[in-house]
Structure 1
Amino acid sequence: MSEDAARRDDPPVVAVEDVTYDYGETLAVEDVTLTVESGEFLGLVGPNGSGKTTLLHLMLGLLEPDEGSVSLFGEPIDEFEDGHRIGYVAQQATQQGSAMPVTVEEVVEMGRYPHRGSGRLTDADRRTVREAMERVEIADLADRRIAALSGGQRQRAYIARAVASEADLLALDEPTVGVDAESRDRFYGLLQELNDDGITIVLIEHDIGVVTDRASRIACINRRLFHHGDTESFVESDALEEAYGSTSSVVHHHH
């Protein structure tokens, strides 16, 4: 069986069905249904305050839906225990860690913790950590304090942690905020390589042009879902106008 055929037989990495969530009187996500298949690169877009981060947190089990259900890798979210299969880079990760007295290597080693049981890191674990740092081009920063890094470097350290954990799903919430244009382009090149290697990616990004250039599928949300499908059908649809208002348009970035 080919790799693509095997992938089609896998359960969805994420399955969200009829999910609703509110913060008290504020309805954040309403009746959303979508799936993320193995190997997809899903861009999650919507205006500020549209429920994107809430939906991502529901997808990862960080929040429990008020209505509906979520599963990860075919298991109900409340029964899912393989947290090492998920690498999550939270919003403003480039600003986080400024007070952490740890090195880059120590941050990346955290990705091995779920694999080691109660023992120390093995030689194999340390090789995996080194390979992860090399993979994202920060091996030369191994002994640097995470607090001393630029936003782009810190971002790569958190990606390396996810790579070291051997994550199957990488979820990122506006990871390029505060990162310069050159670092951002290199970062998205790295994401594309990781996706080409089989890692499923869910990305929240405010720059719609970047998402449509990079992602294979788009979910457009403003509390409820306005589009979920391939990028081309999103660009050709009215979803952007309906979710954002009539002044929005897609601007493509040429690299």
Structure 2
Amino acid sequence: MTAIIAVENVSFGYGARPVVEDVSLTVEAGEFLGLVGPNGSGKSTLLKLMLGLLAPDSGRITLFGEPAAEFSHGERIGYVAQDVTSATKEMPITVREVVTMGRYPRIGFGRLTARDRGIVNEAMETVDIAHLEARRLTHLSGGQRQRVFIARALAAEADLLALDEPAVGVDAESREAFYDLLKQLNGDGLTIILIEHDIGVVTEHATNIACINRRLFFHGEPAGFTASDALAEAYGANQRVLHHDHAHPDHDHAHPDHDPNHNETGDQP
């Protein structure tokens, strides 16, 4: 079976500054890949390369068996960028309208059919936002907005959901419910790539982890990651993984003990 994404010896830089160096990995159908690394490590850039939004300086990337930079079936991918919630806070558009947008790549210039409307309804039900269908994005919380964009991907019948730090600014209880939703969707067969600085979340929910800091330090199952030295090597400090305590919301934000350079920006300056 062809991997959904295959990254082969890929390097990329912004001008003279290398950001990703000689990275190779694959993402298989049904996988939940957690992509971790310190701020500025190349995570967001690598994800954009994997989705064909950037072209590598060297190496090769295929997406659903095609060269990623030439991939033209955007409806197969649901991409929620790091700044999507802030960028849409002022959009005077309803939840149903946003989710319905997911059908447009499938129907082209045609009219919505009863089947299309049924798929939109099912997507909203799946992520528990049907009761918000008439509400405008401007009146939603950060967690609710993220569910809207996931519903849009589901309405598009996407095969791959890619999320770049989707829970930034979301309260602890909503974060937990959000990641439980992702785990449920992955259990239903949806392939997911998640960039997340909360390593406890990643080790709890992902089926595989890729740890990078320009180059790849680890790619494999969570148990192997926590038993390896990859975290300390990639972050350059004495790290340990904290796990969520569901009974104590204050413990929900698990992360490396020391990441003084972390902020909520992407990899590109």
Scaled by the length of structure 2, what TM-score is found? 0.90
Counterpart residue number, 2:35 = 44
Counterpart residue number, 2:252 = none
Describe the superposition over 1:100-157 as per-residue Cα deviations: whole angstroms up to 9, x where unpaired: 1110001001110111121121121111101100110000110111111010111100
Pick aligned residue for 2:44 from 38, 42, 53: 53
Counterpart residue number, 2:230 = 239
Give the whole-Å Cα distance in 2 for the aligned partners of 1:253 and 1:94.
25
Q: Does 1:11 align with 2:2?
A: yes
Q: CA deviation at 1:96?
A: 2.7
Give the whole-Å Cα distance in 2 for the aligned partners of 1:85 and 1:210.
26
Structure 2: where are the runs of 5+ without partners? 247-269
Letter aligned with residue 144 of structure 2: Q
Secondary structure at the residue paired with 2:241? coil
Letter aligned with residue 84 of structure 1: E
Describe the superposition over 1:64-94 as per-residue Cα deviations: whole angstroms up to 9, x where unpaired: 0010111111111133222111001110333
Q: Does 1:108 align with 2:99?
A: yes
Letter aligned with residue 89 of structure 2: S
Give the whole-Å Cα distance in 1 for the aligned partners of 2:10 and 2:43.
13
Counterpart residue number, 1:149 = 140
Identity %: 66
2:54–2:69 contact (8 Å) kept in structure 1: no
Give the whole-Å Cα distance in 1 for the aligned partners of 2:180 and 2:17.
37
Counterpart residue number, 1:83 = 74
Q: Does 1:27 align with 2:18?
A: yes
Give the whole-Å Cα distance in 2 for the aligned partners of 1:200 and 1:89.
14
Letter aligned with residue 163 of structure 1: L
Counterpart residue number, 2:155 = 164
Pick aligned residue for 1:98 from 89, 97, 109: 89
Counterpart residue number, 2:116 = 125
Secondary structure at the residue paired with 1:11? coil
Scaled by the length of structure 1, what TM-score is found? 0.94
Moved more, 168-177 or 245-254: 245-254
RMSD: 0.9
- Give the total of aligned pairs: 246
2:52–2:70 contact (8 Å) kept in structure 1: no
Letter aligned with residue 48 of structure 1: N
Give the whole-Å Cα distance in 1 for the aligned partners of 2:228 and 2:79.
30
Describe the superposition over 1:168-210 as per-residue Cα deviations: whole angstroms up to 9, x where unpaired: 1100000000000000010011101100010000000000111
